[in-house]
Amino acid sequence: MDRRAMLKLVALAAVSPKLNALQNAAVCHMDDATAAAPATAYKLQFFTEEENQLLDQMMEIIIPADDHSPGAHAAKTSLLADLLIFSDEDVVKKRWRSGLALMQKAAAHSSLASALDQAASNEENPQTELERFFVSLKQMTVDAYYTSEIGIHQDLEYQGNTYLAAFPGCTHPEHQDAGPSEKLKPS
Amino acid sequence: MAKELCEGGAKVVMLEAGRGVPNWELLSHRWPYKLPFRGLRDEKQAPFYQGDIRESIRYSDSDKVGVDRVRVVGGRTMHWNAVTLRYAARDFKEWSTQGIEEDWPITYEEIAPYYERIEQIIGICGNDDGLEILPAGKHYLPPIPWRCSEHILHRATIAMGIPLIAVRKAVLTKPYDNRPPCHYCGHCMDGCDVASIFSTPDCMLPKARATGNFTLRENALAREIVVDNEGLASAVSYVDTKTRTEQQVKADVVVVCCSTVESARLLLNSRSPQHPAGLANSSGVVGHYLHGHLGTSASMYLDELAGGTPSNQDGATDHVYLPRYNHLSGKQNYSGGWGIQINFAGYMFPHEAYRLPGYGRDFKENVRKMQPGYLQFGSFGKVEARPENHVTVDSNRVDANGIPIPVVRFRFSDNDRALWQASNQSVLDIFSRMKGKVFPTLASSPGGFASHEVGTVRMGKDPRTSALNGHCQSRDVKNLFVTDGSCFTTSSEKNPTLTIMALSLRAADYIKEQRKKGEL
């Protein structure tokens, strides 16, 4: 529990005399948003080192580092992909291995960036195996990045999953042309 | 029901197929990156789906529907969004007012006192909005403040002349019943570990235990209800799923509350010479009239909030509700309506990232800038109660405990499809009044049931088309009651839970009264 959460708990207890142990239990469960996940080294379970490297490069192209936040590489998205695919059905494993091989082959003719561009060209209506693989690859990158600490806290600057003694609601007058108290015609 | 009967002096044994999940086992607040699969394999939901509950079901000749059965002490009250809405008077009179389906054997006026009582027992936040389509109680806790996106939506609904109201939810906004108020973490559906959302284990079972009359048997999967020579319920046989042994508990009165599909399954598996078609099933109705809600989900990202500082995240999921309004527009080419729940999906994950084309720096920047403007709609529409939609049991396929599994057969009607199309259009119409990027539903046909399935052991006026009377009492077996959603005659667009609770309370009063008279 961080200091801010503790102060809020104290404030709430002051106005809510019936606060019981359940509330304390909730606070005990609030992970400190800034705490890092345990730094245990992950060992690849499905991809080879070469496949993981290729995957990592492609994922970084899809969600790259920019001025605002690190990208997929820093978020180690390829490692989550390895875990998820390792624990999935054989047909999914085959699809990924095959897709990576196709991408490798396409990149050998030009560049990885060009191969990715080619694979993404029909994203909304994929027709070829390469195009379908891109859709899966992008979704995996999105899933892995935006569930990572980097994605949630640094990129999106997500404010939820915290402890609020009261919900502030909208405090912007420009949004409130009509407040919730305005009555409409009864039906 | 258990609480009421215990407080009335009865000794009650509750058989629960699952085990209890104490609050400290819930993963509600766990960050995704601290979960083995980042939450992508439903790790947070796992405590509610015990045993083989997810696998032990089959669908036959069905549209895209899903029966989401939980198995845990407290059932669905452990894993719900807590929206609690009263049915309107017209919802009990579909035949009288619309010429479809059947009327319930009870009226709104008869159930209103029980709505009032249960609302006070469980604690509900919201307002009396003066709407005939959504009657209100007299004792609500303060409503939850609205988010920026909801105020912007309100401008649009005012311009359209349709109501947007503070949601009514069984979520505490101030201390109540010795439970603390919500702390707005946004994880209602992951289980509330502080009891701010109503749940049976946190709110009702302690009261039942306090009487000294209550016994809970966990991991007790009911196999069948046993009858005596007169055909009255005399005991419940169950499987202790931990020891894999057969057990039995005798009873003067049996109340079935297993959820719609499971209750029908239990009764159909309870065959005897006295009840060859299954218990309470001389009409052949048990299992039939399965229905629930059809739904659609769509979202938009408001330009007015794009690129802004993230705020108002997450709250208590939905803070506002858009009640049915199509009945105000005159006659339609379908019957029924829909209500729209808003912003119950949460802000942690940027769902727009799934729908935005492209990749690279621009894609990443767009996702980030759009996220604060997230506005999500989930409409829940009425589905017709028709006998051809049903639950049966497959005697050739049993679950891990040797009990025949349920088989669901369900097809949407022409009315259902027309209503679904209209509900989709209404969502787009409302979105069109605001500026932003719209992501409409990708579905080309309706899906159901949103865990709101009802109707398989329905009450009714006509014994040929109903298994229960207006007190949830079996017509065939006077000491058998069914008090979950399966007892519904028809369904409206409103979430069924509050009505289930009110019917259960009413049935409890009836049982107590009948026992005092010596009838049960």
CB contact under 8 A, B314 and A160: yes
Q: Which of B166, B357, B359 lies at the smallest CB-CB distance from A124?
A: B357
Q: A-chain residues within 8 Å CB-CB of B328?
A: 187
Instruction: State the complex-level ipTM.
Output: 0.92
Residue B116 pLDDT greater than 60, yes or no:
yes
CB contact under 8 A, A87 and B37: yes
Nearest partner of B67 among B316, B258, B222, judged by Cα? B258
pLDDT confidence of B312, banded at 50, 70, 90? confident
Residues 270-309 on B with a CB inside 8 Å of A are: 304, 309
Query: According to the model, what pLDDT value does residue A27 have?
Result: 53
Q: Give mean pLDDT, residues A147-172.
A: 94
Q: A-chain residues within 8 Å CB-CB of B320?
A: 180
3-state helix, strand, coil in chain B (%, to 5): 30, 20, 50
Residues 6+ apart with CB under 8 A from B518: none
CB contact under 8 A, B346 and A146: no
Residue B449 pLDDT greater than 90, yes or no:
no
* A105 burial type by CB count under 10 A (0-12 exposed, 13-18 middle, 19+ buried): exposed
Written as six digits, the tokens of B10 are 């009865």
CB contact under 8 A, B181 and A16: yes
Half-sphere exposure of A172 (CA within 13 A, CB side): 15
Residue A36 pLDDT greater than 80, yes or no:
no
Nearest partner of B332 among B119, B138, B150, B98, judged by Cα? B98
Note whether A39 contacts B: Cβ–Cβ < 8 A.
no
CB contact under 8 A, A64 and B361: yes
**Which parts of A29-89 fold into alpha helices (H)?**
49-62, 77-86
Note whether A9 contacts B: Cβ–Cβ < 8 A.
no
Residues A88-146 have pLDDT tens digits of 999 999 999 999 999 999 999 999 999 999 999 999 999 999 999 999 999 999 999 99
Q: Give mean pLDDT, residues B477-485.
A: 98
Residues 173-192 on B with a CB inside 8 Å of A are: 174-175, 178-187
Q: Give mean pLDDT, residues B117-127.
A: 98
Note whether B25 contacts A: Cβ–Cβ < 8 A.
no
Residues 104-123 on A with a CB inside 8 Å of B are: 116, 120, 123
Written as six digits, the tokens of B226 are 């046993």
Residues B422-438 have pLDDT tens digits of 999 999 999 999 999 99
Q: Give mean pLDDT, residues A16-34.
A: 46
Residue A34 pLDDT greater than 50, yes or no:
no
Residue B215 pLDDT greater than 60, yes or no:
yes
Task: Supply the mean pLDDT for chain A.
Answer: 82
Residues 6+ apart with CB under 8 A from A39: none
Q: A-chain residues within 8 Å CB-CB of B158?
A: 178, 182, 184
Note whether A184 contacts B: Cβ–Cβ < 8 A.
yes
B2-21+49-516 maps to CATH 1.10.4080.10: no
pLDDT confidence of B227, banded at 50, 70, 90? very high
* B24 burial type by CB count under 10 A (0-12 exposed, 13-18 middle, 19+ buried): exposed
Query: According to the model, what pLDDT value does residue A21 have?
Result: 43
Note whether B90 contacts A: Cβ–Cβ < 8 A.
no
Note whether A137 contacts B: Cβ–Cβ < 8 A.
no
pLDDT confidence of A178, banded at 50, 70, 90? low
SS3 B114: helix
DSSP for B229-240? Answer: TTS-EEEEEEEE
DSSP for B306-359? Answer: TTSPP-S--BSS--EEE---GGGG---SS---EEEEES-S-SSS-THHHHS---
pLDDT confidence of B361, banded at 50, 70, 90? very high
Q: Which of A16, A147, A168 lies at the smallest CB-CB distance from B32?
A: A147
pLDDT confidence of A19, banded at 50, 70, 90? very low
Written as six digits, the tokens of A146 are 């935006």
* Residue B24 DSSP symbol: G
CB atoms under 10 Å from CB of A88, counted, come to 14
Q: B-chain residues within 8 Å CB-CB of A147?
A: 32-33, 38-40, 349
Sheet holding B390-398, edge to edge: B58-59, B404-409, B390-398
Q: How far is A114 from chain B (nearest CA, A)?
A: 13
The model scores a pTM over 0.90:
yes
A185 vs B332: which has the higher pLDDT: B332
* B470 burial type by CB count under 10 A (0-12 exposed, 13-18 middle, 19+ buried): buried
CB atoms under 10 Å from CB of B221, counted, come to 23
Q: Which residue in B343, B348, B433, B439 has the most chain A C-beta atoms within 10 A of its own C-beta, making it the best mutation to test that interface? A: B348
Query: According to the model, what pLDDT value does residue B442 have?
Result: 82
Note whether A168 contacts B: Cβ–Cβ < 8 A.
yes
Query: According to the model, what pLDDT value does residue B274 have?
Result: 95
Q: Give mean pLDDT, residues A29-37.
A: 47
Written as six digits, the tokens of B281 are 């099933």
Q: A-chain residues within 8 Å CB-CB of B33?
A: 37, 147-149, 152
pLDDT confidence of B291, banded at 50, 70, 90? very high
Note whether B433 contacts A: Cβ–Cβ < 8 A.
no
**Cβ B373 vs Cβ A175: under 8 Å:** no
Beta-sheet pairing, B12-15 with B214-217: parallel
Q: Give mean pLDDT, residues B175-203.
A: 94
Domain ranges of chain B: 2-21+49-516
Q: A-chain residues within 8 Å CB-CB of B325?
A: 187
Residues 326-365 on B with a CB inside 8 Å of A are: 327-328, 346-350, 353-354, 357-361, 363-365
Query: According to the model, what pLDDT value does residue B310 have?
Result: 87
